[in-house]
Amino acid sequence: MTYESTTFPHEVLGLARREALQTAGPEVEQVTVIERQREEWSQELERCLSQLEFSVLPEDPLQCGADLGDALSCATQAWFERFYPQGPSVAEKQLLPEAWLGAMCDTLEATALAIDEWVQFAFLAWGDHWLPDIVAQLLDGQAEYDVEDLYADFVADLPRFQTLSRISALRSSLRHVHDEPPQAHRQKVSPIFGPPRHPTAHTKIQQAVPRPYGEQEEWSARLRQCKFATMPTIAACPLYRTLPDIPTFLFVHLFSGRRRTGDFHMELQNFALQKNWRVVILSLDTAVSIEYGNLLHHTVSWRALEECYLAGRIAGTLCGPPCETFSEARFTPPPEGSDHWPRPLRSFAQLFGLEGLSARELRQCHTGGNFF
């Protein structure tokens, strides 16, 4: 078949779209560059995998591998005991790879077989499974670093290690190489109304994204409708008789704030004096004591308080909200001319936090929620 060059007729010159007929001849499927590269990598991978096969093996591979591993371990331990803790010089560091090479040559001479490939395999297996335990027992940071560095330099020259590295690279390349999708023969015509735009606050149609954080009002409303069908029986009030005639009660005031005149602590003490009682009141708040007033669930103070509750030693409890984020003072209007003023973070409907909080305010709500 011969090919002949032709030109367009004068009648169709200058037209943007022209009628066309398929040329005669067989349809040839073009091979892409990616396909050729994938085929070359696949063939090279098969060659590398064939190089890992053993042509000759010792009579007892397991016992021979164990003997070689013991020889390599003894050589490593002897080198460490000789040069540490003072540390070896640059020339003395090379004695360890020479000792490893000597152990491998002894194995070759003992078998009288050409098992170089198998000896490299056994050495790499020893480095993967035995060497980490040996290094961990050295208890010397510099020695651990030196042994691992010398091992890495030594195995980098082994042909089997280089073949394994090439196999890993080829498999990674084959996993990530993909044909690019065919492109259109001409650019896509832009729409009349321009590219799509994201909805704004004034857009009529908005798609709501469901979020548990944004649906906390409905959750709080359903929770507040819950009622107790049965109530536990009222237990007797526990007390301690430290003195024969004066009963002693233990009270706990959680999130008490700083001690002040007329607070719960003071009023309960005055009431106990009138009734001839003795009361011990634990006012717990970080404003009172940073260490003993910390009520996070993992602190020592909370665990000690929990033990008192479980043992039934506490007669009464008063609990206020953590004031950092639950405080009503945040709803106070800022003074005139003030630029920095704490704003509200929660409300009755949105107990876990309002919308539009900053990252710092969200962390504050998270801490207050854990306290609560």
Write down the domain spans for the chain: 61-172, 248-320
pLDDT above 80 (res 179): no
What's the whole-number mean pLDDT along residues 102-127?
Answer: 84
**Where does the pLDDT of residue 263 fall: very low under 50, low under 70, confident under 90, or very high at 90 and above?**
confident
- Mean of per-residue pLDDT scores for the chain: 80
**Is the entire prediction scored with pTM above 0.85?**
no
pLDDT of the residue at 195: 59
E strands in the chain: 248-254, 278-284, 316-319
pLDDT in tens, 292-314: 888 777 888 888 889 988 988 89
Report the largest interatomic distance among the alpha carbons of the chain, rounded to a whole angstrom: 125
Query: Percent of the chain having pLDDT more than 90?
Result: 1
Q: What is the DSSP string of 214-247?
A: TTHHHHHHHHHT---SS-PPPPPPP-B-SSSS--
Among 11-20, 29-38, 94-103, 289-298, the range with the most confident prediction by mean pLDDT is 94-103
Residues 258, 139: Cα–Cα separation, whole Å: 52
219 Cβ neighbours under 8 A, 6+ residues apart:
212
What's the whole-number mean pLDDT along residues 155-175?
Answer: 88
What's the whole-number mean pLDDT along residues 195-219?
Answer: 72
pLDDT of the residue at 18: 57
Residues 171, 163: Cα–Cα separation, whole Å: 12
pLDDT of the residue at 212: 82
Residues 50, 163: Cα–Cα separation, whole Å: 10
Query: Percent of the chain having pLDDT more than 70?
Result: 83
What's the whole-number mean pLDDT along residues 194-206?
Answer: 62
Query: Cis peptide leading into 85, omega within 30 of 0?
Result: yes
pLDDT of the residue at 244: 59
pLDDT above 80 (res 185): no
Phi, psi for 282 (deg, rounded to 5): -100, 105
pLDDT in tens, 316-346: 988 877 777 877 778 888 888 777 788 888 8
What's the whole-number mean pLDDT along residues 118-122?
Answer: 86
3-state secondary structure of 33: helix
DSSP H helices, 130-230, are: 131-138, 141-155, 159-176, 216-224
pLDDT of the residue at 144: 85
pLDDT of the residue at 333: 83
Residues 351, 218: Cα–Cα separation, whole Å: 11
pLDDT above 60 (res 194): no
Residues 264, 12: Cα–Cα separation, whole Å: 99
Residues 222, 227: Cα–Cα separation, whole Å: 11
What's the whole-number mean pLDDT along residues 239-249?
Answer: 64
